Amino acid sequence: MAYDMSTGYAAPGTNNLQDDASLPMFNVERVSLQFSVASDFVAAAVANNVLILALSTGRILRISLDSPADIDDVDLPKKASEIGVIKRLFLDPSASHLIITTTLAENFYLHTQSRVPKALSRLKGVGIESISWNPSQPTASTREILVGASDGNVYEVYIEPSSEFYRREERYLKSVYKTNDGPVAGLWTDIIPGRADLRRIIITTPSSILHFAGKVGRNGSEGSGSIFSRLFESESATVHELGNISSGAASCLAVSPEHQETPTPSSEHTTVERIFGWLTSQGVLTGKLFLSADTSELGGKVLGESKMLPRSHIPPSQTASGRARKLQEPVQSIILSQWHILQLVEGRIVVINRLDETIVLDQVVLQPGQSALGLVADIKKNTFWLFTSQEIFEVVITDESRDVWKIMLKAQQFDAASQFAKTASQKDAVATASGDYLVGKGQYMEAAAVYGRSTKPFEQVALSFIDKGEQDALRKYLLTKLSTLKKSSIMQRVMVATWLIELYMAKLNTLDDTITTKAELSESMNTAETQDQLSVIRKEYQDFVSRYKADLDRKTVYEITSSHGREEELLYFATVVNDYNYVLAYWVQRERWQETLAVLKKQTNPEIFYKYSSVLMANVPVDLVEIMMRQTNLNARKLIPAFLNYNNITKTILNQNQAVRYLLFEINQHQSTDAAIHNTLISIYASHSTNGEAALLSYLEGQSYANEQNYDADFALRLCIQHKRVQSCVHIYSSMGQYVQAVDLALKYDEIELASTTADRSNTEPALRKKLWLAIAKKVISQSSGIRTAIEFLRRVDLLRIEDLIPFFPDFVVIDDFKEEICTALEDYSSKIDALKQEMDESEETAAHIKTDIKALDQRYAIVEPGERCYVCGLPLLARQFFVFPCQHAFHSDCLAKKVVELAGIARGKRIAELQTEVSKGTSVGQKRDRIIKELDALVGSSCEMAVKLIDEPFITATDDKEEWAL
């Protein structure tokens, strides 16, 4: 990728494609610079997409690769003639802190938010060769960092930017370690995961690499003193030394960038292990920076498992002369990517895969005579750069891990190869090779899991396991294969799943046989272990059918499981597929009633209850009714056949009859009004072998008290008559109002008291009651051993007389037997006759008085005073024709007529108006006129209604002066 430093976009003509296998993995491209400088580059650094360039004049350019148009230009505070030329730039991974060192050992510090470099006075005269930045990557200050010097000293320094002129940038500076074999070419510090107080420090010189790991000290406040002194004082280093070091050969320490997205085999760690590379005159030593809280053996493991890539592995330049080819070209600089080592060798870049040491790139970049400043890696953004005195190159990496799976596969690291395989064909190749390798080693179970994810022919794999007798491996292979088959491959999934059922049954039977005979399957397995394995296989089978029940044919599984006699597995499968009918039928056929009820308790489907109610009512009626009473969606009508069948075969008493119990529950709790339910209950009550009918009668009376009749009366009557339930029949007849039939039925069965109670209870007219009692009397007289007994029984009835009973007595009865009753009856009649005579005399006397009063009316008169006035109009009464009543009310005849019309009813008022019209017209003469006037006078003056009609009239009307009536 070439950057346009003025715009931040890729320069025209560059390829921006990623993850394309057709592109070279590594490519070196020149970066187009859109700015010019008057001097050469002398040092460079890159971190977090920030590029720092130092010029020979002492200027420092700070360029953001995200926005290259923004360039910060900073000058050192002194001239190059005073402090020397900039030798190295050290930029922390966050690009917040920059330390500058010159050829005269002058050192400066520049913070990202500052434009003025500050001299590090405590570090004056220290030739800085390397810096180990704080692992926490702070931005406000550097916190504790380690500085490697050219004299072999390692210093700890804490740098914090300050705006105060006289305040030093370094809080403190302390020498914490001293090497004895040259300058400190490389430093690295990281934190052990999970232990904030543990640090790992790697120090390299041209001839040795030292690994420290241990606890650091803590001071009262941050920056108040050294924290690494304790580690160096208390811990000894793990050292790896080299002999025959060439003087003047380049030496440095490189660490791979932070991982971005690519998974690694060590992904189980919270912090991914990174790679280190130590450049020496003999080659490059590489290894993993293992992470472990146990620091005692950490250094030995890191250095012990590292390997040397010798210089001889680097091919000579093709452009060199024959003599030059024989000489080993020196390596000037190295950096690490995730999987490769990038080396700068005399103007060319050589990239070597660190896993298999193959050369991936050998490209000449520099022209003859052109010198390079070195290779630089941005460990934050995973970019790689080559700087010369006038040019910048970027090493572009495309899909670096594309061939890692092949290398891992070749090394038989199959798990790692599987992780890095991306395409289906790659994964399949890894799986096939891994399976073949495991089979070759006899690890059939592991091979089965791998083969299941491969495309190796199904028949070939299955037959290989069968031939070797590895049934367990075959089962595991089929399980894995089934999990990879597509849902659309229905036939294949069904066949594989069915085969697995057969394998599971065979395995379970084998283990059962082993336990039964107390034999050992192998030298390493005893009976107890077999029992444990049986539980494991059974659990595995249960998980299998639960997961793949949709791929199993019920009928086939039933046949396979039944043929092996695996009852538990058979029922488990039926339960998983919700085939409760099968489970219930299985237990019912074997008359295992408790198991049947246990399954039934979990059901809510009413059809299951209807189907098995008959057989369960016949065998476990109490438990069944308990379960059914907890259901809310049963239709009791559909349970009637089961109840009737149960009633026919059971001999229990009524209060323990479970059919009655459930029917009463439906009626009383669910308020059922279904006639079929009520009729069934009546049928059971009526047909029961008990002699009493208290329960049936209680039910019928309860219906009557509730003013209900939810049963069929005709049906109930026929049943009661059929089973001679007399009291119930009488009750039903009575509830139907058929009292005659009720009494006749009671008398038919000689139930005199019942008939008497029914006759007394009837609320009909007296004639019917008398008729009923006559029937009872007839029955009583016919059954009485003595006339006296019959007479005594009938004395409580006040409707019958002795004359009503005489026709029922036999002809040979002597009158002396009931002479007293006859005499009593005659005396009663005589008393009644005397009373009637007295009433007749009183009536005659009253009639005579009435006649006398009528004659006196003709002689009656009234006195009208001269000033008497009409009660209606208030004018003198004698002015015209008038009426006077005995109550002393007097009215003019026309005034009275009007008032009577107002107070009289509609018909009477209408008739008075008609008669007045006839009289006023004068059309009627003679007798007719007299008759009309007589009728009119009779209507008007028949009685004085004024006193009665005016009772409702108020004393004070709306027109009266109320003050006159005030108290």
705-720: per-residue pLDDT in tens? 777 888 888 888 888 8
The pLDDT score that the predictor gives to residue 307 is 92
Mean pLDDT score, 278-287: 92
- Where are the domains positioned within the chain? 423-484, 487-578, 581-630, 635-736, 764-836, 877-965
797's CB contacts (< 8 A; 6+ apart) are 773, 777
d(CA 244, CA 227): 36
Q: What is the largest CA-CA distance in the chain?
A: 187
DSSP strand pairing (331-336 vs 340-345): antiparallel
With a cut of 60, say whether residue 687 has pLDDT above it: yes
Greater model confidence, 835 or 50 = 50
With a cut of 50, say whether residue 281 has pLDDT above it: yes
CA–centroid distance for 119 within its chain: 66
Token pair recorded at residue 108: 């400066």
- Cβ atoms of 662 and 637 within 8 Å: the answer is no
293's CB contacts (< 8 A; 6+ apart) are 192, 193, 194, 195, 198
> What is the pLDDT confidence band of residue 765, given thresholds at 50, 70 and 90?
low
With a cut of 80, say whether residue 813 has pLDDT above it: no
Mean pLDDT score, 943-964: 63
The pLDDT score that the predictor gives to residue 944 is 67
For residues 947, 950, 951, 952, the Cα torsion angle rounded to the nearest 10 degrees is 170
d(CA 79, CA 390): 22
Mean pLDDT score, 480-501: 91
CB count within 10 Å of CB 653 equals 10
d(CA 358, CA 38): 42
> What is the pLDDT confidence band of residue 509, given thresholds at 50, 70 and 90?
confident
Greater model confidence, 529 or 729 = 729
Of 287-291, 355-359, 936-940, the one with minimum mean pLDDT is 936-940
- Cβ atoms of 430 and 453 within 8 Å: the answer is no
The pLDDT score that the predictor gives to residue 344 is 93
With a cut of 60, say whether residue 868 has pLDDT above it: yes
What Rg, from alpha-carbon coordinates, does the chain have?
A: 63
The pLDDT score that the predictor gives to residue 322 is 52
The pLDDT score that the predictor gives to residue 547 is 92
User: Residue 343's beta-bridge partner residues?
Assistant: 334, 350
3-class state of residue 657 by DSSP: coil
Of 321-335, 419-433, 483-497, the one with minimum mean pLDDT is 321-335
- Cβ atoms of 783 and 789 within 8 Å: the answer is no
With a cut of 50, say whether residue 7 has pLDDT above it: no
Where is 436: in which H helix or E strand? Answer: helix 424-440
With a cut of 50, say whether residue 583 has pLDDT above it: yes
Q: Tell me: the pLDDT tens digits for 515-545? A: 777 655 455 456 777 788 888 898 998 999 9
CA–centroid distance for 647 within its chain: 46
Mean pLDDT score, 633-655: 88
With a cut of 80, say whether residue 961 has pLDDT above it: no
The pLDDT score that the predictor gives to residue 790 is 62
> What is the pLDDT confidence band of residue 99, given thresholds at 50, 70 and 90?
very high
CB count within 10 Å of CB 544 equals 21
Mean pLDDT score, 949-964: 64
With a cut of 80, say whether residue 153 has pLDDT above it: yes
Greater model confidence, 653 or 788 = 653
- Cβ atoms of 860 and 851 within 8 Å: the answer is no
- Cβ atoms of 74 and 115 within 8 Å: the answer is yes
Of 185-194, 283-292, 626-635, 765-774, the one with minimum mean pLDDT is 765-774
- Cβ atoms of 353 and 284 within 8 Å: the answer is no
Mean pLDDT score, 342-358: 90
With a cut of 70, say whether residue 235 has pLDDT above it: yes
Q: Tell me: the pLDDT tens digits for 739-762? A: 788 777 877 877 777 777 777 765
With a cut of 80, say whether residue 98 has pLDDT above it: yes
The pLDDT score that the predictor gives to residue 173 is 92
With a cut of 90, say whether residue 862 has pLDDT above it: no
With a cut of 50, say whether residue 151 has pLDDT above it: yes
> What is the pLDDT confidence band of residue 701, given thresholds at 50, 70 and 90?
confident
Q: Tell me: the pLDDT tens digits for 462-473? A: 898 888 888 988
The pLDDT score that the predictor gives to residue 2 is 38
With a cut of 80, say whether residue 427 has pLDDT above it: yes
The pLDDT score that the predictor gives to residue 393 is 93
- Cβ atoms of 179 and 172 within 8 Å: the answer is no
Mean pLDDT of the chain: 82
> What is the pLDDT confidence band of residue 945, given thresholds at 50, 70 and 90?
low
Mean pLDDT score, 940-959: 64
Instruction: Please give the C-alpha separations between residue 271 and each of 47, 267, 936, in angstroms, as whole numbers.
Output: 21, 8, 131
The pLDDT score that the predictor gives to residue 150 is 93
The pLDDT score that the predictor gives to residue 241 is 92
d(CA 305, CA 328): 27
What percent of the chain clears pLDDT 90, i.e. is strictly above it?
24
CA–centroid distance for 70 within its chain: 55
Give one word for 106, left, alpha or beta, with left for phi > 0 and alpha for psi -120 to 50.
beta
Give 435-438 contacts, CB < 8 A, sequence gap 24+.
Answer: 435/461, 437/412
The pLDDT score that the predictor gives to residue 884 is 82
What percent of the chain clears pLDDT 70, i.e. is strictly above it?
83
With a cut of 90, say whether residue 93 has pLDDT above it: yes
- Cβ atoms of 899 and 953 within 8 Å: the answer is no
The pLDDT score that the predictor gives to residue 949 is 62
The pLDDT score that the predictor gives to residue 52 is 93
> What is the pLDDT confidence band of residue 578, given thresholds at 50, 70 and 90?
confident
Token pair recorded at residue 40: 């050469």
d(CA 188, CA 186): 7
d(CA 862, CA 884): 7
The pLDDT score that the predictor gives to residue 946 is 58
Sheet strand arrangement including 107-111: 86-91, 97-102, 107-111, 118-119
Helix, strand, coil tally for the chain in percent (to 5): 45, 20, 35
Mean pLDDT score, 634-641: 90
With a cut of 70, say whether residue 334 has pLDDT above it: yes
For Cα atoms 867, 871, 872, give the angle at the middle one, nearest 5 degrees. 125
The pLDDT score that the predictor gives to residue 809 is 58
d(CA 408, CA 426): 12
With a cut of 90, say whether residue 448 has pLDDT above it: no
Of 14-18, 216-220, 568-572, 704-708, the one with minimum mean pLDDT is 14-18
Q: pTM score > 0.75 for this model? A: no
- Maximum average pLDDT range among 5-9, 148-152, 293-297, 387-391: 148-152
Give one word for 246, left, alpha or beta, with left for phi > 0 and alpha for psi -120 to 50.
beta
